[in-house]
């Protein structure tokens, strides 16, 4: 596919082509991130560059502009060598733009360019002059005209022509309207600007040089005396259309300017510089360091807050206590296990009654508090959802985590991109509480079971939200305060693996129980006369079994601390991983994608602004 800008920039001008391509990419990447008004000027530049690029580069369009009475029409006629534009006392004289074309050799006409400028065919003139081949001169209406539409025509054509000749006279060369409305805002176009002091015949003696010096001073204040990058700026000449003084020099300057065929590219470069300057607030200062974005520390802090919101630390501690309690049950003395079983049986009836009352309350909407939903645009969550779905995640902690992440991620970004990153963070956070609730619930309701320390049977876990706080569960399940559930109880570990010594301890407790029973039978037999041996032996067996059981249980409790701690830490890490994965998918990745988009756009902006060497 041919490049639409090929004819305007010329062959080999890769820098300008790259800048245009970067601006086009920049606009495409920013359409959904920035307001349309921000991209209006870049879009205009791209559109005009494409339109000019489809037309001949052999012609250079130059507008002659000036105030009323400056003699620009007379100068236009003097350059053409004939009367083409009406000259008179009545103001304004020029009612519509008039064009004079010096045809380029072997290039055909300039009708396409004139159509783009909107010059009517009836006011198009052609002149043959070898010294001005390829020049298209356009006489504009007065920029200070009081006639309807004249100023609008001038402003429109000044945005389309390749260069402009400003004609001033000795009386109004310092006119504030000219300098403040046109020359100062167009300082970036100094390379394609001519300033002609006309009517020098009205100045006495050497006053022309003094006026020219003062004119150059004003142009220097306007920023037109030098180019954008220190190169020579606007060309300043003195002429008299009446006497012909300076006309030859002006024709020579315009002829060389048109022959170089560089005006379209210079004009486009100035357009790009102007568009980049307007876009600078949207993409930050090129001299400022790149924003930090999502560093590893920012990610870790966010994941730590998520872990705090789901109660990962408390869940790990509760899991550790539950593991110790299971070890105590399994390795404790048979007598203590019997007492514990009896207590559990006594609690079964109240537990069932409590379950029924809780479930009935949920059915009528008076049970557990409802889940909370994100309140879009406020950075907080509000109560919502139905009964029986009590939130497990600390909403305030979660909201603070997202708020801090967004604040740290946008550090150094321009305001427009701050908003897009913050919006991405809060959009992802809209369903984050419910997702984390589901993660926490799924870890306890995933179909795994608790290992019953008494029988080794697998007892399915109760679903969260169907038992009121403090209600006892199955005999094998242990609930400790401080868990991550909404009722403050730990619903048990997903799975508890018994170490090898656990079975040995249980066998030891059974052996000690057998020793006690043997000693008891022996002692009873001795009391009733069935055995006539020494009494100390059965008593020793009884005492040894009675003391050995608690001692063995105490040793097992001490030995269980290490595995219990490891189990609790693994539970904490597991919940942290699940919460971090959820937060990463919903918040971190969208934020990272927006930051990556900003970096890509900023790189394109640097290229479009002509600062590619800084990358």
From CA 447, how far away is CA 438, in angstroms rounded? 14
From CA 420, how far away is CA 401, in angstroms rounded? 18
Residue 247: give its domain's CATH number. Answer: 3.40.50.300
Residue 515 in any domain: the answer is no
186 with 275, same domain: the answer is no
459 with 594, same domain: the answer is yes
Q: Is 153 in a helix, a strand, or coil?
A: helix
- pLDDT tens column, 46-80: 999 999 988 888 899 999 999 988 889 899 999 98
337 with 357, same domain: the answer is yes
Residue 554 in any domain: the answer is no
Tokens of 201: 């015949």
Cβ-contact 479, 433 below 8 angstroms: no
Residue 289 in any domain: the answer is no
**Which pLDDT belongs to residue 378?**
43
Q: What is the DSSP letter of 135?
A: E
Q: Are strands 372-375 and 449-451 parallel, antiparallel or unpaired?
A: unpaired
For residue 446, pLDDT beyond 70: no
Taking residues 287-309, report their average pLDDT: 81
From CA 291, how far away is CA 605, in angstroms rounded? 15
**Which pLDDT belongs to residue 61?**
95
Q: Are strands 60-66 and 135-139 parallel, antiparallel or unpaired?
A: parallel
Taking residues 443-465, report their average pLDDT: 41
For residue 376, pLDDT beyond 70: no
Q: What is the CA radius of gyration of the chain?
A: 45
Tokens of 355: 């379950």
- pLDDT tens column, 488-498: 333 444 456 66
Higher pLDDT pick, 492 / 25: 25
Residue 561 in any domain: the answer is no
The residue segments making up the domain with residue 500 are 296-504+570-614
224 with 113, same domain: the answer is yes
Residue 13 in any domain: the answer is yes
Percent of the chain with pLDDT over 90: 29
Task: Give the residue among 598, 588, 564 at the shortest CA–CA distance from 496.
Answer: 564
For residue 514, pLDDT beyond 50: yes
Name the helix (H) or strand (E) containing 207: helix 207-222
For residue 12, pLDDT beyond 60: no
**Which pLDDT belongs to residue 365?**
34
Task: Give the residue among 480, 178, 94 at the shortest CA–CA distance from 320.
Answer: 480
77 with 36, same domain: the answer is no
Other CB atoms within 10 A of residue 81 CB? 13
381 with 275, same domain: the answer is no
Task: Give the residue among 53, 60, 93, 48 at the shortest CA–CA distance from 75.
Answer: 93
219 with 333, same domain: the answer is no
Taking residues 373-396, report their average pLDDT: 52
**Which pLDDT belongs to residue 170?**
92
24 with 69, same domain: the answer is no
218 with 320, same domain: the answer is no
Residue 313 in any domain: the answer is yes
Q: Helices in 189-262 by DSSP H: which ranges?
A: 207-222, 247-260
Residue 553 in any domain: the answer is no
Higher pLDDT pick, 528 / 231: 528
Residue 278 in any domain: the answer is yes
For residue 463, pLDDT beyond 60: no
Chain centroid, CA 363 distance in Å: 44
198 with 309, same domain: the answer is no
**Which pLDDT belongs to residue 165?**
96
69 with 7, same domain: the answer is no
164 with 312, same domain: the answer is no
Higher pLDDT pick, 541 / 471: 541
Is residue 226 very low, low, confident or very high in pLDDT (cuts 50, 70, 90)?
low
From CA 169, how far away is CA 526, in angstroms rounded? 141
Q: Which of 124-128, 239-243, 311-315, 477-481 has the lowest mean pLDDT?
A: 477-481
**Which pLDDT belongs to residue 286?**
56
Tokens of 504: 């040995």
Percent of the chain with pLDDT over 70: 71
Name the helix (H) or strand (E) containing 119: none
Count Cβ atoms within 10 A of the Cβ of residue 104 and give its class: 0-12 exposed, 13-18 middle, 19 or more buried: buried
Task: Give the residue among 453, 563, 448 at the shortest CA–CA distance from 499.
Answer: 563
Separation of first and last alpha carbons in the chain: 28
Q: At what angle do helices 263-283 and 415-429 cross, to 10 degrees?
A: 50
- pLDDT tens column, 228-280: 555 678 999 999 998 999 999 999 999 999 999 999 999 999 999 999 988 88
Taking residues 152-178, report their average pLDDT: 93
Please tell me the total count of domains within the chain. Answer: 3
**Which pLDDT belongs to residue 389?**
47
From CA 399, how far away is CA 236, in angstroms rounded? 64
**Which pLDDT belongs to residue 339?**
67
- pLDDT tens column, 399-414: 899 999 998 888 888 8
């Amino acid at each position: 596919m041919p490049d639409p800008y090929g004819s305007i920039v010329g062959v080999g001008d890769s820098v300008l082509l790259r800048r245009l391509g970067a601006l086009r990419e920049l606009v495409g990447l920013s359409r959904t991130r920035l307001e349309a008004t921000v991209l209006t000027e870049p879009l205009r530049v791209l559109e005009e560059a494409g339109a000019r690029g489809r037309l001949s580069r052999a012609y250079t369009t130059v507008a002659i502009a000036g105030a009323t009475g400056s003699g620009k029409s007379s100068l236009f006629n003097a350059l053409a060598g004939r009367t083409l534009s009406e000259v008179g006392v009545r103001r304004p004289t020029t009612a519509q733009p008039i064009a004079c074309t010096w045809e380029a050799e072997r290039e055909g006409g300039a009708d396409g360019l004139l159509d783009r400028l909107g010059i009517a065919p009836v006011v198009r003139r052609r002149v043959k002059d070898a010294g001005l081949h390829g020049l298209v001169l356009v006489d504009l209406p007065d920029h200070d005209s009081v006639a309807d539409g004249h100023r609008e025509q001038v402003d429109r054509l000044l945005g389309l022509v390749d260069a402009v000749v400003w004609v001033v006279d000795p009386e109004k060369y310092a006119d504030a309207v000219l300098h403040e409305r046109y020359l100062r805002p167009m300082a970036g176009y100094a390379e394609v600007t001519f300033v002609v002091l006309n009517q020098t015949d009205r100045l006495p003696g050497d006053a022309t040089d003094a006026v020219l010096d003062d004119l150059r001073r004003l142009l220097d204040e306007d920023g037109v005396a030098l180019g954008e990058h220190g190169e020579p700026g606007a060309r300043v000449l003195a002429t008299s259309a009446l006497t012909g003084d300076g006309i030859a020099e002006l024709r020579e300057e315009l002829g060389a300017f048109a022959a170089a065929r560089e005006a379209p590219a210079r004009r486009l470069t100035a357009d790009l510089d102007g568009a980049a300057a307007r876009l600078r607030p949207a993409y930050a200062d090129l001299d400022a360091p790149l924003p930090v974005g999502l560093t590893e520390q920012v990610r870790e802090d966010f994941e730590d807050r998520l872990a705090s919101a789901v109660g990962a630390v408390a869940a790990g501690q509760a899991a550790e206590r539950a593991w110790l309690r299971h070890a105590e049950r399994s390795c404790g003395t048979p007598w203590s296990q019997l007492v514990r079983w009896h207590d559990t049986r006594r609690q079964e009836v109240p537990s069932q009654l409590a379950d029924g009352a809780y479930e009935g309350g949920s059915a009528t909407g008076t049970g557990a508090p409802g889940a909370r939903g994100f309140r879009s645009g406020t950075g907080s969550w509000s109560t919502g959802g139905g009964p029986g779905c009590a939130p497990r995640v600390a909403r305030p902690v979660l909201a603070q985590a997202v708020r801090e992440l967004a604040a740290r991620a946008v550090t150094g970004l321009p305001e427009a991109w701050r908003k897009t990153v913050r919006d991405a963070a809060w959009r992802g956070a809209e369903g984050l509480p419910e997702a984390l609730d589901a993660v926490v619930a799924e870890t306890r309701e995933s179909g795994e079971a608790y290992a019953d320390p008494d029988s080794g049977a697998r007892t399915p876990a109760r679903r969260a939200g169907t038992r009121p706080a403090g209600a006892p569960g199955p005999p094998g399940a242990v609930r400790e305060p401080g868990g991550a559930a909404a009722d403050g109880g730990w619903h048990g570990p997903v799975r508890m693996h018994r170490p090898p010594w656990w079975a040995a301890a249980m066998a030891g407790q059974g052996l000690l129980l057998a020793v006690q029973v043997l000693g008891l039978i022996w002692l009873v037999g001795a009391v009733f006369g069935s055995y006539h041996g020494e009494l100390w032996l059965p008593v020793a067996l009884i005492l040894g079994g009675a003391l050995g059981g608690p001692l063995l249980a105490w040793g097992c409790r001490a030995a269980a601390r290490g595995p219990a701690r490891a189990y609790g830490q693994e539970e904490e890490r597991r919940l942290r991983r699940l919460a971090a994965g959820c937060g990463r998918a919903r918040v971190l990745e969208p934020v990272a994608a927006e930051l990556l988009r900003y970096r890509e756009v900023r790189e394109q902006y640097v290229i479009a602004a002509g600062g590619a060497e800084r990358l």
